[in-house]
A and B are shown apart, each in its own frame.
Chain A
Amino acid sequence: MFSSDILLQLGWTGLATSSFYMLFATAFALVLKVNQVWNFGQAGLMVIGYFSCYIFLQILDFFPLWAILFSILVTVFAGCCLEKYGFGVLRERKSPPLTFFIFSIVIAQFFVFLAELIFGTTPKTLYPSLNSKINLFYGIVITNWDLFALISSIIIMSVLYFIMKKTKLGYSMTAVSDNPELAEMYGIKKEYIYLYSISISSFLLFWGMYLFGTKAAIFPSTPLLQLLVFAVIATIIAGIGNVFGAALAAVFLSLLQAFSILLIPSKWQILIAYGLIFFIILFFPKGFVINLEVFKIKKNKGS
């Protein structure tokens, strides 16, 4: 059948690739949990993060560290604007869930089109050259990118885990996601918490895009057409409200896709992800029903 070398190599590549998928899924799941919004606008933030970094690096020729820092600021700022002037306004108006959906989908499309208008529809990379030093480890190819991506993502996820489980901010986020009105009564300003969670989410998105952009070229539509769907599926697999579960689900999806190359031609690989949506909805819908109700903000809670 397949040699163990190939299997190990696929596993390693899948794991390395999962670094950014993990970040995207966590970002999506976090905003869904805390802000209680299906933030398809995440794809818009990804576009903003990526192309602001592209501008700083390739057009303004900044030193990479500065470029990264500025892009993080831009992305987080964009995320806060999206929350404050988008979702916040709709929440204030008690807009129906459908309006949130339309808004979040359309805002993503808006930024994709804007990026296509400004940067054209050809793929872009963050650095002129994407060559990463190759190391051989017992016959498995491990690039420096792999190591950098995995280690940085794991550090970020650990810090996030610490924030969520051990800090006041983390507790507040959980409290707001459980019951915003009750949290307010305990003196937690929910508007601030929403801003914090979308800021964290924006940072995760930027870093994911940075990792992606140092490995492969990106079309303006890539975040919306490929990366977002992965995050959504991972979130559904894990069950809504389960932020770190979504990260694990993203790793699982990434490995599944990596190994699928043994059985399925690469051009059909993406269909596995789309097919999984139906598989889950068909066979595992029950566990997610109750959680999904979270989105219905005005839902009448029983006594």
Chain B
Amino acid sequence: MSEIEHSLETVNLTKNFGGKMVANHINIKFKQGFVSGLIGPNGAGKTTLFNLISGNIKSDYGDVYLGGKKINKMSDFQRARLGIARTWQMNRLFNSLSLIDNLIISQRSDYSDKSLSLGLFDFNRAKKDALYEDIAANLLKRVGLLDYRNSVPAELSYGQQKLVAIARALMNDGNIIMLDEPMAGVEGRTHNKIKEIILEEKTRKKTIIVIEHNMRFIREICDEGIFLVNGQIKAVDSVASLMNDVELTRIYFGG
């Protein structure tokens, strides 16, 4: 796989929400095999940047490039099929489905989409599912939740739900993985598990973008930090030097 094929880049990405610039000419290139941390005070536009990249909201101006190809005209599901996977602060798991089904449905070539018969003549679901079920079960095993494969999300703790959400994003097997506050409200074993998974994905040459407020975590895991304020990129540098910057620290901790 060549570098360019999976590079993610934004050019002058701009979005205005009711008079407030939530993204203001954002130019950034995310590197493969790199963990980038989006840092900044609340309301800086971190999640908005995720939404603009994943296509949940459309930009007013500017472009998103994936592998040198403009993707901003595409809808969110088309972008996901190109391998952009993400999580949300609120997890957004499918509450009526078991964990294994939560994962299977997130396979980006789910065959059910093509069924014009709406599943009426789908007599071998188990056989078709088997293809993805192994992958899904493996992912559940990786996050240590294989025992819960037939449980619904509500039966899990909050931290476990975070793990499912991450596993669901990995099910996409895309090259871009965007994690929105994976560590919020998570501690102990789950914390280490998430760290471990991110580092594993990094060695698999994925492009990983993380929004996180936990500075220790950012320092431990991110190769670079991107500091956002008021929808603008203030600085891109190694996390250590960003944290030594008095000006940025002042903004971050609410000066």
Mark A residues whose CB is within 8 Å of B.
290, 300, 302-303
Contact = CB atoms under 8 A, between A and B. Distances in A.
B90 A303 contact: no
B44 A303 contact: yes
Interface of B: 17, 42-48, 50-51, 88-90, 92, 211
A290 B48 CA distance: 14
Contacts of B50: 302
Candidate in A290, A302, A303 with the most chain B CB atoms within 10 angstroms: A303
A222 B51 CA distance: 44
10 contacts: A290-B17, A300-B88, A300-B90, A300-B92, A302-B47, A302-B48, A303-B44, A303-B46, A303-B47, A303-B89
Nearest to A301: B47
Contacts of B47: 302-303
Contacts of B44: 303
A138 to B, nearest CB: 46
Contacts of B89: 300, 303
Contacts of A302: 47-48, 50-51
A290 B90 CA distance: 20
A303 B88 CA distance: 11
A290 B50 CA distance: 17
Nearest to B89: A300
B244 to A, nearest CB: 25
A303 B92 contact: no
Contacts of B51: 302
A158 to B, nearest CB: 26
Nearest to A300: B90
A50 B88 CA distance: 49
A178 B13 CA distance: 26
Nearest to A241: B18
A178 to B, nearest CB: 9
A303 B44 CA distance: 7
Contacts of A290: 17
Contacts of A303: 42-48, 89, 211
